[in-house]
Structure 1
Amino acid sequence: MQQFTEESRTPTAARNKLRARGVRAALAAVLAAGALMTSQTVTAHGADNPYERGPAPTQSSIEASRGPYAVSQTSVSSLSASGFGGGTIYYPTTTSDGTFGAVVISPGFTAYESSIAWLGPRLASQGFVVFTIDTLTTLDQPDSRGRQLLAALDHLTQRSTVRGRVDATRLGVMGHSMGGGGTLEAAKSRPSLQAAIPLTGWNTDKTWPEIQTPTLIVGADGDTVAPVSSHSEPFYQSLPSSLNKAYLELNGASHFTPNSSNTTIAKYSISWLKRFIDNDTRYEQFLCPLPRPSLTIEEYRGNCPHTG
């Protein structure tokens, strides 16, 4: 007796319907497997680096005026501060992502916290605890500002009301002008720091071969207060050749460009802090290959690829 399958006994339209159903089932299985693989890949990537915070970055996300995190802030009175002049702490509001890396930022000569305050919420919204500080006096020199940056880090991690939100092993320093010179002093004094970013820095000391902290030097082509030829460039050139380091010279900028919101400063600061405080290699793409000259970049130097 001749055997018939269900398909052979079914009219053409019905057979086509069965085939379509089979294709859909196979496609669903493939998609499910792909989703599982993607899930496993993300989980594995996160497990490789538990310090990653926030979604995968894009060019637009690092240039945005605000990142993915909502930000809160709290003031630190000069009366409760020891070794520095008080300031403002900006931090991601969420507690679901665990602790965050942190950075303290110093103003420059004769300046107050307000001159660098724009960096607080901008960096914090990308997933950092940020402490913008006042110095003990507006006339403090770089060596004093370096000590004050470290005192503020100690306050942040040991005494502040948000100390539980900070990973005390993942810290960095930034500063403008004499605060930039102080940034180099702080990195020299505390090699355990993960990142340093002097912004149009000023210091009578031009050589920094002792620094072991990944350092991004930011200069300005039109700086007449701390000209790059006698400050930022020699600072950069004196850093160890084996160090993760970079030199960003802003185009059409002055000594005081870091005192107001600036997308180029922000995007490369965010990328540097993410890469070295959080060890987040997702941000390597914005640092290597080296950025090319543009309307906002006069010059960019560095060693690529980065290590560690």
Structure 2
Amino acid sequence: MLVKTPPFRRVRRAVVALSATAGFLTVPTAAQAADNPFERGPAPTTASIEATRGPFATAQTTVSSVAVRGFGGGTIYYPTSTAEGTFGAVAIAPGYTASQSSISWFGPRLASQGFVIFTIDTNSRYDQPASRGDQLLAALDYLTTSSSVRDRIDRNRLGVMGHSMGGGGSLEAAKDRPSLQAAIPLTPWNTTKTWSTVQTPTLIIGAENDSTASVSSHAEPFYQSLPSTLDKAYLELAGASHFAPNSSNTTIAKYSISWLKRFIDNDLRYEQFLCPAPRGTAISEYRDTCPHSV
């Protein structure tokens, strides 16, 4: 499938290509950054992306399962002001036997950084990853066409996340809908190990002590199977268990925000947190394909 590149991305890719020819990679100037119509919020700092709340005030609305088709309802978290324009949107799925309450902390934390976030319930707590992937896409379709916040969303800037089987589902969704701008599988589980057709920039977050979806059997082979030409990264949480994404986690939030901003908003101000590869006591391993394409 041919995916058209937006004009502003083509221009920036040309700039990077010229810079690479000269033997260096330019850092975007303030004037170049201002050319991006999708930037939302002030210039980021380490403190701002580690904070429990970002610069946007948020509200939330509940979506009943009887009001939708294809997934089990959920909760939408969104910025209350549209003074800066519309926002990218992300659907997030829980893991096996879990409900949206297990991932609810992502809602206000990510929405306050300038996204519309939809934490969903699945049709059944026992749905497998392929079904959860379909449900993530159904949730995005509902968000952009029928939800009460659809006018706040740019339907061309969408992403998916998920925990465990929901993480495996986010890979399924990215495979099935190449137009997605970002995917973040969180300690993902899936019997499918090869994702060579995925075209969506993907950050896989694994947990060093995961005994449910061990990184050696799931997160690591998933990352390795993604195309080498893809913008991708693998972050392994030091000493963490499979259930690390089920409670507020600064490391997960920090790099999820950076990934979503970088690829859903094409906000180059967040590249600094991803390239060069981050290091620290909270990270046992990090792999990437830096520098990212523009």
TM-score, normalization by structure 2:
0.89
The reply to whether residue 74 of structure 1 matches residue 61 of structure 2 is: yes
How far apart are the structure 1 equivalents of 2:166 and 2:84?
31
The structure 2 residue matched to 1:246, chosen from 220, 229, 233, is: 233
Instruction: After superposition, give the CA deviation of every residue in 1:33-60 in whole Å (9 maximum; x if it has no partner).
Output: xxxxxxxx99844541000000000000
- Taking structure 1 as reference, are residues 215 and 43 closer, same or farther at Cα in structure 2, changes over 3 Å only? closer
The reply to whether residue 189 of structure 1 matches residue 176 of structure 2 is: yes
Q: Which residue of 1 aligns with 2:204?
A: 217
How far apart are the structure 2 equivalents of 1:247 and 1:217?
5
Q: Which residue of 1 aligns with 2:286?
A: 300
**8 Å contact kept, 2:207–2:239:** yes
How far apart are the structure 1 equivalents of 2:190 and 2:239?
22
Instruction: After superposition, give the CA deviation of every residue in 1:80-113 in whole Å (9 maximum; x if it has no partner).
Output: 0110000000000002111000100000000000
The reply to whether residue 107 of structure 1 matches residue 94 of structure 2 is: yes
The reply to whether residue 257 of structure 1 matches residue 244 of structure 2 is: yes
Shift of residue 255, structure 1, vs aligned partner: 0.2
How far apart are the structure 1 equivalents of 2:179 and 2:66?
28
Number of equivalent positions: 267
Task: Give the counterpart letter for 1:300 in structure 2.
Answer: Y
Q: Which residue of 2 aligns with 1:116?
A: 103
> Residues 160-175 of structure 1 correspond to what in structure 2 (within 5 A)?
160-175=147-162
**8 Å contact kept, 2:36–2:266:** yes
The structure 1 residue matched to 2:146, chosen from 139, 159, 171, is: 159
The structure 1 residue matched to 2:258, chosen from 256, 263, 271, is: 271
How far apart are the structure 2 equivalents of 1:74 and 1:162?
9
Q: Which residue of 2 aligns with 1:57?
A: 44
RMSD between superposed Cα atoms in Å? 1.2
Identity %: 74
Q: Which residue of 2 aligns with 1:12?
A: none
Secondary structure in structure 1 of the residue aligned to 2:269: helix
Task: Give the counterpart letter for 1:237 in structure 2.
Answer: Q
Secondary structure in structure 2 of the residue aligned to 1:79: helix
Task: Give the counterpart letter for 2:63 in structure 1.
Answer: V
Instruction: After superposition, give the CA deviation of every residue in 1:215-258 in whole Å (9 maximum; x if it has no partner).
Output: 00000000000000000000000000000000000001000000
Q: Which residue of 1 aligns with 2:270?
A: 283
Unaligned runs of 5+ in 2: 1-27
Q: Which residue of 2 aligns with 1:201?
A: 188
Task: Give the counterpart letter for 2:116 in structure 1.
Answer: V
Secondary structure in structure 2 of the residue aligned to 1:219: strand
How far apart are the structure 1 equivalents of 2:275 and 2:69?
40
Unaligned runs of 5+ in 1: 1-40
Q: Which residue of 2 aligns with 1:9?
A: none
How far apart are the structure 2 equivalents of 1:55 and 1:42?
15
Secondary structure in structure 1 of the residue aligned to 2:66: coil
How far apart are the structure 1 equivalents of 2:158 and 2:290?
22
Secondary structure in structure 2 of the residue aligned to 1:299: strand
Secondary structure in structure 2 of the residue aligned to 1:283: helix
Secondary structure in structure 1 of the residue aligned to 2:169: helix
Task: Give the counterpart letter for 1:222 in structure 2.
Answer: N
Q: Which has the higher contact order (CA 8 A, sep 6+)?
A: 2
Secondary structure in structure 2 of the residue aligned to 1:249: strand
TM-score, normalization by structure 1:
0.85
